[in-house]
Structure formats: C-alpha cells, structure tokens
C-alpha cells in the first residue's frame, strides 16, 4: 500500500491527514486519490466504512483554488450524512482555509442563507433543500468545478433521483464528478453514464459482501415473542454500543419504551418523525457514549459513520437484502470485530433466504439460552428456498 505522501497530496492536506491519525490510505483512497488529483471523474463502489469520504475530500481540497463563488457541491441523501461529511471536511481542511456551508431540511433557512452569503467554497447538501435554495436564487453554481454524488443508491431508494438530475442539470458541464454508490442497479448506471465523463472505476471488494470481521446470526422466534427475545438478547449481550434497526418508526418508538425499562441501558431513537434538534442530540449522545443503544429506522441511519458499535440487531429481517449489508456495515467497521443479530420469524423465511443468497453465505441460526420459547419449529434450521430477485444486479467479481 502506498503512503499518503506517495499519493501526491499537497503539504497542508498531508499534515491534516497526520493530525487525523490516519497512518496509511485505505484501498479506496489508494485507488481513487491519484486519479482524482489528475482531474479524472470517478465512479466508486465501496462498502460503507472504507474511507470513502477522505477518498473524495482530500483530492478536492488539494485541487481547489481561490474563488468568491462555490467550487464544490457534495450531495448526500440524509441530513446526518451531510453533517458527518462536513465534520470530516473541516478536519481535512485544518491547514487550508475553507469555507463550508451545510444545507439540509428540518431546520430554518436564516442560518443557511447567511452561510451562502459568506462566499462558501464548498456546499454540502441534501437534494430537496438545495433545490429550494436554487429556486430562490440563493446559490450561484456558475463556478462549481467539483461535484460529488455520494450514496447514490440511497438517493434512489428515497426517491431523490429526479431532484438529483435537476441539480446536475444546473451545474456547469466542465467539472469533475465523483460518484459513489454501494450498488449499481440500472437506473444508477444510466445516471452515471449521463453525469460522468470517461470515469475511472474504483471498486473495493465484492459489492455485496459485508465486512469480514462481523459475526452474523439469526435468532428464530415466534412472532408473539419477538419483543421479549430482543429484550432478553439486549440484557444478556455484553455490548458496549448497540444499534437496533426497525422497519417502521412505530416499532422504533415502541421498542425504545421497553428498552428504557432495562437496567443499565441508555437507549435513544433516530427516525424522521423526531425533530431535527433531537435527532442531532440522539446521534451526538450515541457517539459520545451518553447513550449505549440507538434504535433507528434504516432510512435515518444509513451510511452514518459511528465507530465502536459492537452490536447490530435487526428487529426484522430487512425487506431488501442490500439493506442487510448496509445495516450490519455499522459494526465491524475499520477492522473491528462486531456482531450482527437478526430476529427471524416464520413470515420472514423468504427474506432470510434472500439475504443468504445475496451475501452468498449461510447465516447461523442461534438459540438464546434461558429463554422460554413458546415455539421452536423454526430452530430446526431447514434451508428455505431462495426467493428469485429478477431485478438484482448480476454479481460482479473483480
């Protein structure tokens, strides 16, 4: 692996990387940084937690000159991801004056308009709020030279692709575009073909495989005992920090109420019905250890970089196998060990088989000792037939 200095980064950026305690580049950084420094467009597929943010931020900071208008636009699917990228960018620009503005929904316009008036170099935004500002004439994109489209598959899932296209249409044609998506279904490939010029492809590992440091298990149970099992699992697991994913906001709220009754847990929740200031507090508190459990819907939590998560629990088997990989990507990040537990009920056998088929790995069925199971048929571990997924992209090997 080359060193950061060998990748061609400028002095102030190298010093910031050292200050961030990064010793050597991750594979995606080693591949993407030299190409991006040469001005090439990049299409990158990479598992979460692989250092993607630095892979696009470091070369852009190096290449950015002086201007009175924004030079770089970074689009992110969620507010939390946008805020996380802002934090990292400020860290990498420690030795280079860089004015960054963060634009997302759920908060007032006043502060953002002030930020835009302050001649930002970089705009980090979610698509909806950015379009609002563009429509109001608050933003001048005429000198925008760098466009980053991050977590594009999540933007597709959230229905943002039309907004993203409208935004790209307003950007100058002469620009460098860096495009990241964990999966590449047809709609995303089409967008990439349209938005990028002769891109370099950067792909790290197999797109579908979860981090190798994660231990997976299904915990089969009757539907009526799902909550009891999860509470027992939380009680019996020696976790330091745990993320629990639910399908719905209602499930998240109900589970949070029950978790609060367990001694030694400091749970909080993250979903889109919670007001922005409380979402920020929940995330901040989970990061700094004030909370040791966060119950989140997938949409709210996707892509967030939360280090040191020791356990992930899926309240239900995710409906899309891709989501399974994304969710358990929260643990086992940066080569740490992690555990991922998924509660499995009889109505979810097809989804479970689809997940196993997708990740090409059999997931062990486990039984919780000292739990009084009403129904044990599922524990027999009969292989279910994989569900056919005609829309799933073909597995690509490097």
| Site for ligand AMP, rule CB under 6 A | 22, 25-26, 29, 49-54, 305, 307, 334
Least separation, in Å, of the C-beta of 213 and ligand AMP? 14
Tell me whether residue 22 or residue 94 sits nearer to ligand AMP (CB atom).
22
The answer to whether the Cα torsion of 64, 66, 71, 74 is positive or negative is positive
Residue closer to ligand AMP by CB (options 46, 351) is: 46
Whole-angstrom distance, CA of residue 382 vs CA of residue 87:
47
CB of 37 to ligand AMP, least distance (A): 16
Please, what is the Cα angle at 259 between 312 and 225, to 5 degrees?
80
Nearest CB to ligand AMP, comparing residues 267 and 332:
332
Nearest approach in angstroms of CB 334 to ligand AMP is: 5
Q: In this complex, which beta carbon is closest to ligand AMP, that of residue 35 or of residue 305?
A: 305
Q: How far is the CB of 137 from ligand AMP (least distance, A)?
A: 33
Q: State which residue, 92 or 245, has the beta carbon closest to ligand AMP.
A: 92
Nearer to ligand AMP, 102 or 221 (CB): 102
Question: Shortest distance, CB of residue 34 to ligand AMP, whole angstroms?
Answer: 15
What's the closest the beta carbon of residue 27 comes to ligand AMP, in angstroms? Answer: 10
Beta carbon of residue 307, minimum distance to ligand AMP (angstroms, whole number): 5
Phi/psi of residue 36, each to 5°? -65, -35
Q: How far is the CB of 295 from ligand AMP (least distance, A)?
A: 21
Q: Which is nearer to ligand AMP, 142 or 307 (CB)?
A: 307
What is the nearest approach in angstroms of ligand AMP to the Cβ of residue 51? 3
Strands across the sheet containing 338-344: 214-220, 338-344, 311-314, 242-246, 293-297, 267-270
Nearer to ligand AMP, 54 or 72 (CB): 54
To the nearest 10°, the Cα dihedral for 377, 381, 383, 388?
Answer: 80
Phi, psi of 243 (to 5 degrees): -110, 135
Residues 387, 351: contact at Cβ < 8 Å?
yes
Q: Which two tokens stand for residue 150?
A: 């991050």
- The residue (of 76 and 305) whose beta carbon lies closer to ligand AMP is 305
Reported as half-sphere exposure (CB side, CA atoms, 13 A), residue 303 has a value of 24
Nearest to 168 by CA among 185, 186, 152, 184: 152
Q: How far is Cα 152 from Cα 272, in angstroms, rounded to an integer?
A: 19
Q: Considering the complex, what minimum distance in angstroms separates the CB of residue 337 from ligand AMP?
A: 16
Residues whose CB is less than 8 angstroms from the CB of residue 250 and which lie 6 or more positions away in sequence, other chains included? none
Cα separation, 282 vs 267, in Å, equals 9
Greatest extent of the chain over all pairs of C-alpha atoms, in Å:
68
With respect to ligand AMP, which residue has the nearer C-beta, 334 or 377?
334
Q: How far is CA 350 from the centre of its chain?
A: 26
Decide: 326 and 298 in contact? Cβ < 8 Å: yes
Contacts within 8 Å (CB) and 24+ apart, 17-21: 17/54, 17/58, 17/92, 19/91, 19/94, 20/91, 20/92
């Amino acid at each position: 692996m080359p060193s950061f200095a060998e990748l061609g980064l400028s002095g102030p950026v190298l010093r910031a990387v050292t200050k961030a305690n990064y010793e050597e580049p991750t594979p995606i950084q080693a591949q993407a940084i030299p190409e991006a420094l040469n001005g090439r467009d990049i299409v990158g597929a990479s598992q979460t937690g692989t250092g993607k943010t630095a892979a696009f931020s470091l070369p852009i900071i190096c290449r950015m000159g002086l201007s009175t208008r924004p030079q770089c636009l970074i689009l992110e699917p969620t507010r939390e991801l946008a805020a996380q990228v802002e934090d990292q960018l400020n860290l990498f620009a420690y030795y280079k004056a860089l004015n960054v503005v963060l634009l997302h929904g759920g908060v007032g316009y006043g502060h953002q308009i002030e930020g835009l008036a302050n001649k930002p170099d970089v705009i980090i935004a979610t698509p909806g709020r950015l379009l609002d500002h563009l429509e109001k004439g608050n933003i001048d994109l005429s000198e925008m030279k760098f466009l980053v489209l991050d977590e594009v598959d999540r933007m597709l899932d959230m229905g943002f692709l039309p907004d993203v296209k409208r935004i790209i249409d307003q950007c100058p044609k002469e620009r460098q575009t860096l495009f990241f998506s964990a999966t590449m279904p047809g709609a995303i490939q089409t967008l990439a073909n349209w938005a990028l010029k002769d891109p370099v492809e950067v792909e790290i590992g197999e797109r579908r495989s979860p981090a190798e440091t994660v231990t997976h298990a299904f915990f089969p149970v009757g539907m009526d005992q799902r909550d009891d099992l999860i509470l027992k699992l939380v009680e019996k697991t020696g976790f330091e920090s745990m993320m629990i994913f639910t399908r719905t906001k209602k499930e998240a709220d109900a589970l949070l109420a029950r978790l609060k009754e367990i001694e030694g847990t400091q749970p909080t929740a993250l979903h889109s019905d919670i007001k922005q200031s409380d979402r920020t507090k929940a995330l901040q508190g989970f990061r700094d250890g004030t909370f040791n459990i966060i119950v989140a819907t997938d949409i709210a939590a996707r892509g967030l970089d939360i280090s040191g998560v020791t356990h992930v629990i899926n309240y239900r088997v995710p409906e899309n196998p891709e989501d399974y990989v994304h969710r358990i990507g929260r643990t086992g990040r940066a080569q740490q060990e992690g555990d991922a537990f998924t509660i499995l009920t009889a109505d979810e056998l097809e989804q479970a088989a689809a997940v196993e088929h997708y990740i090409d790995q059999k997931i062990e069925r486990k039984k919780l000792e000292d739990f009084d199971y009403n129904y044990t048929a599922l524990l027999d571990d009969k292989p279910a037939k994989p569900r056919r997924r005609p829309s799933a992209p073909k597995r690509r090997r490097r």
